[in-house]
A and B are shown apart, each in its own frame.
Chain A
Amino acid sequence: MNLLGLFRPPPMDPLLQVVSGVPIFRDCNRAELEALKLHLHERNFLAGEIVFDEGEDGEGMYVVIRGKLRANRKGILTKKSLGVIQAGESFGEMALLGAGPRMATVVAEEDTTVLAMFRPELVALAQARPRLGYKIAMGVALVLESRLRRFADGQSTEPSAT
């Protein structure tokens, strides 16, 4: 019997493993991710179901656990696809910064599982754990910075996906 195994922490929740790979939460340690877990809401969407609409007030962000979604934005005449959101990616981060309108409509392309994080809950968590709050705020800032850079470099036609 391997006695040292008793002192090893139990394996991480698979959902948290996905969350830990998302750029916004990459710097969070295990204790912080466990605290975050209490505020994650798992939602299942069927293929063709809308997660949120463009122009709707945004209240939180999502992390894709399984499946695939598409972000669309209304053009002057036709709908414009902004791209596909895959498992392990996040969307709707702008809503963490304020209750502004959503910048795109996100539709599930196949049966999809996401983890939703609600802004007021994350704000309360950040107030209780300022270090975690700082990491999340920096994470959001870095994601937005990379999107702006891609837009400036001409690799993307929109400064922000959602």
Chain B
Amino acid sequence: MKPGLSGERSLEHPIIWIAVIAGALGSILLLKAVAWLAFPLILAVVLYYLVQPLLQRLQLAGVTPGQALGIFLGAATILTLIFSLTILPSMLNSLADFQNQIPTYWDRLQGVLRDNLLALESRFSFAKKAGLANSLQEQLNLFLAGSGKEYIADVALFLLHWLPSLLLVPFLTFFFLRDGTAFHRLVLRAVPNAFFEKTLLLFDRMDNQMRAYFRGMFGLTMLDTVSLGLGLWFLGHGPGIFGFWDAMFLGLICAIFAWVPYIGSGLGGILAVATVAVKAPSSSGLMVAVVLLFLGVRLLDEFIYTPMTVGRALRMHPLITVMMIFSGGMLGGVYGLLLAMPLLGIFTVLGQMFAEIWFDPRLRARYQARGLLEKRLASKDLGI
């Protein structure tokens, strides 16, 4: 018998939609409350979905699942050792250099902002009346003297707080890869017979949705990194602003910012322009070129990269997307911004499947019939 409502139609029910949004926002709050565990857990899930195809390829080559996991762990350990011995020391040196340069960069950034505001003041009288350049200078000084120090201390504490929990990531990923199937079976044992096949389908859809999303996001991040990195390198290597790896690193950071739909790309663009402003304060033409580069990559993202990688499976109405991102950001800060859309995707599938099961009168009747059979069996010798 056909379900009472199809997957798409079931979501037309307003209660389901409200429940989907409430579930996504509620889980953001929950994840924020247990962020020390949720953060490594989410990273482990992402790693699980990224590593799984490698293990499947190894299995295709004829090794058992256990051997495939062993080979992967061995290779990961060797690569980590090589990274720690070769690339990590030079990265730490670069980081130390960058730390020493922060005051210079900060002065330059202030100078660029001040110069531009003064130019604005000389051209428009309302800007001069507002005293934009002076008020900005005052605000920045106040920030540095007061809340800035606290803010920097908060960020440092935040990072210190997170480092130990990050050690959980490889541990959790290993167990997901090793025992994921067994855990899946254990959960399914609790499902009543009447809903069993539908629930299996729900798990499968959710698994596919998460796999497609995380793998797609990984692919999209790589494509964005390469496009932005090459573009920044092409624009900046002549004036000596960016080396190849500097440009790629900045491209990677901007690509990670772009995980937050609509807003992230803009923030990445501002970061790149600020970097150019700091490194070459006098080259305003280059800043315009960087803005154009970001607009170009945004178009590539929209029309080529996203359909190629993430697809349009998680595409929601732009209004819902923006509302979810802002609500997520308000409730869960950075987590909320990053997790709002994937969680909405997962809860949409859950909502669809719940509606399919719950609004199917035949499945509910079968479930109730099972209850009656159990009752009859239990009271057989009682003569009721």
Contacts and interface: CB of A to CB of B under 8 A. Distances in A.
B373 A43 contact: no
Instruction: Tell me if A's interface is mostly helix, strand, loop or mixed.
Output: mixed
Contacts of A44: 193
A112 B200 CA distance: 20
A96 to B, nearest CB: 13
A53 interface: yes
Given A49-B369, A54-B1, A59-B200, A127 B193 contact: no
Contact of B56 (A46, A53, A118, A128): A128
A127 B196 contact: no
Given A55-B1, A120-B204, A43 B374 contact: no
Contacts of A55: 1-2
Given A39-B181, A50-B366, A56-B1, A45 B193 contact: yes
Instruction: Tell me if B's interface is mostly helix, strand, loop or mixed.
Output: helix
A121 B204 CA distance: 8
A42 B189 CA distance: 8
A108 to B, nearest CB: 10
Contact of B185 (A38, A50, A52, A57): A38
A130 B369 contact: no
Interface of A: 31, 35, 38-39, 41-60, 116, 118, 120-121, 127-130
Interface in B180-211: 181-182, 185, 188-189, 193-194, 196-198, 200-201, 204
A16 to B, nearest CB: 15
Interface in B22-66: 56, 59-60, 64-65
The 3 A-B residue pairs with the shortest CB-CB distance, nearest first, are A128-B59, A59-B197, A46-B373
Given A41-B185, A55-B2, A49 B200 contact: no
B3 to A, nearest CB: 8
Nearest to B181: A38
Given A55-B1, A56-B1, A60-B197, A46 B374 contact: yes
B167 interface: no
B145 interface: no
Given A46-B373, A59-B197, 9 more contacts: A38-B182, A38-B185, A41-B189, A53-B366, A55-B1, A118-B200, A121-B200, A128-B60, A130-B60
Query: In the complex, which of the residues A42, A45, A55, A118 has the most CB atoms of chain B within 10 Å of its own CB atom?
Result: A118
Contacts of A47: 373
A108 B185 CA distance: 23
B130 interface: no
Interface string B353-384: 00000000010001001100110010000000
A41 B374 CA distance: 21
Contacts of A38: 181-182, 185
A31 B65 CA distance: 11
A116 B65 CA distance: 22
20 contacts: A35-B64, A35-B65, A41-B200, A43-B196, A44-B193, A46-B370, A46-B374, A48-B369, A48-B373, A49-B366, A50-B366, A52-B197, A53-B362, A53-B366, A54-B1, A55-B2, A57-B2, A116-B196, A120-B200, A121-B204
Contact of A49 (B64, B65, B193): B193
A38 B65 CA distance: 11
A52 to B, nearest CB: 7
A53 B373 contact: no
Nearest to B188: A41
B30 to A, nearest CB: 29
B369 A118 contact: no
B204 A50 contact: no
Nearest to A127: B56
A46 B377 contact: yes
A55 B4 CA distance: 13
A72 B374 CA distance: 23
Contacts of B3: 57
B122 to A, nearest CB: 67
A48 B372 CA distance: 11
B1 A53 contact: yes
Nearest to B205: A120
A24 B201 CA distance: 23
A129 B181 CA distance: 16
A19 to B, nearest CB: 15
A9 B188 CA distance: 30
A35 B65 CA distance: 9
Contacts of A57: 2-3, 197
